[in-house]
Chains A and B, each alone.
Chain A
């Protein structure tokens, strides 16, 4: 298991990145966590990521904006949206805008892992 995927995690809840980083790194991927979407996007312009996991609701820039900007810079990047409450409309909007998938809070590391696995397969194609 050594995919070496570059994964970016954006959530203004500090604990999310703190926990997801070690959890996802166990699969051999390279994970960077951000609590500030603006800084994350800056980093994205320096460094391509294969997968971006972003919370939909954040103070400054929200998940949908992150989604748009990421896809604008790198089409093949898979964006996974974390939604606060799994309302169909928000999820649909994200999917329409090109998100790979969405995951509803609260979730376990494994739930996200399976989505990332799917995305990895998609990337391999």
Chain B
């Protein structure tokens, strides 16, 4: 996985955005870069290392266990020999007692048993403990002593006197040795069956280990991937706030985050250009209306001036003055119209200030007044008094309302209705402005797409499809939101949610969420 990333390991602190802004570090990037590096590569390596170490431990244990078993088997042989020697010794002892054969042979075997005991002293001591070995050699020597005494005894009676003692020591000796061999055999069998079972335990534990490690790694990677999925959605919706680190370390995803931030900045730049160009287009639309509006005072001026020119000599001063006053009044009217348009068209940076909603809405309506009138649409504003001022840039917000009103105008037949209302939002610290029309409505299947840039159902010259996306961009940037409700045949309501100035610095807070 992630080959490209692995092939280009970035040394920490190196500039990793293909940055034309050399020497210009962005705050959000610094935060991303300053985390300690724990790369995915390193985590994978660590995971395999753990598995390897575990396997190694098991392998070493197997070697150790096998050599233990081997030693035990060797020892078992020795124990077997020991038992055999003692049994031999006892057989000769019996022969001696019964048939009076040679006792030397018995002594001989006892000697060999003693030797075996001495040779394996350490091992036996380990298995049976120090006391048992002492007991064992004591018994051996006791038996030996009795045997010697029996050998030295002259007659049968004396021999018979020793017999119970001899039987006791001998029997004890044999049973101890048998016991010992038996114990040893059990130990070997135990060790063997353990080493038979251990591979299964090992496989089981290895499986659990792999599952745990894999699911941990996968969860780790997937959750980050999901986060990036959310980012792309968020960016797609026009939220251009940068990605901030969510983890305490840095890995290949952080590089992706840096690349995302770079992309976001580029998109943001382009989006601003888009807003500006859409605004210019809106100006174009408005100019058509304003041209007509301007024509009225111009015409009044011209007619009045024309009359003044024709009748200049004949008219009494009083009437001439009246005409001149009319001319001044109408010129003033022209000036106001031109100023509104210029105010709107003036290119400017965002200036976020507290704004009176009433003035804002009235300003927007004044700009579209002509279009509305031309389309014979009944536009009504019902404003709630004493609402707190909203947070925003006047021209940008005017653009939003102009876009929404013009959209409604486009959707309405003559005599259609637009209602604009405002109220406090149920969500504290926000105000809702609703723009409702009783036009055709928006079919459900296109509703999710209307905020997409360049989505339009209008003919080429009438719409670029940027109005809503630009408006949403403006409002989101201010920390608000635009939502839509529509029913085909009934009409459409756009709701603009704007933060009031009561909420301090809600702009950045809302943009980050």
Contact = CB atoms under 8 A, between A and B. Distances in A.
Interface of A: 13, 15-16, 19-20, 22-23, 26, 57, 59, 62, 84-85, 105-110
Nearest 4 CB-CB pairings of A with B: A108-B306, A84-B292, A106-B299, A105-B299
A15 B326 contact: yes
B474 to A, nearest CB: 30
B415 to A, nearest CB: 11
Contacts of B373: 57, 59
B207 interface: no
A23 B374 contact: no
B307 interface: yes
28 contacts: A13-B296, A15-B300, A15-B303, A15-B326, A16-B299, A19-B306, A19-B307, A20-B303, A23-B303, A23-B306, A23-B307, A26-B310, A57-B292, A57-B373, A57-B374, A84-B291, A84-B292, A85-B291, A85-B295, A105-B296, A106-B295, A106-B301, A106-B302, A107-B299, A107-B302, A107-B303, A108-B303, A108-B305
Contacts of A106: 295, 298-299, 301-303
A57 B372 CA distance: 12
A26 B315 CA distance: 13
Given A13-B299, A85-B292, 4 more contacts: A16-B299, A23-B307, A57-B292, A106-B302
A109 B299 contact: no
B436 interface: no
Interface string B437-452: 0000000000000000
A15 B330 contact: yes
A16 B300 contact: yes
Contact of A23 (B296, B298, B299, B310): B310
A102 to B, nearest CB: 13
Interface string B281-298: 000000010011001101
A13 B326 CA distance: 13
A16 B374 CA distance: 19
B304 interface: yes
Contacts of B300: 13, 15-16, 19
A45 B298 CA distance: 32
Nearest to B315: A22
Interface in B302-332: 302-307, 310, 326, 330
Contacts of A57: 292, 373-374
B298 A105 contact: yes
A90 to B, nearest CB: 11
Interface string B485-501: 00000000000000000
B292 A16 contact: no
A3 B225 CA distance: 88
A101 B219 CA distance: 79
A3 B311 CA distance: 21
Contacts of B307: 19, 22-23, 109
A107 B326 CA distance: 16
Nearest to B373: A59
A33 B179 CA distance: 138
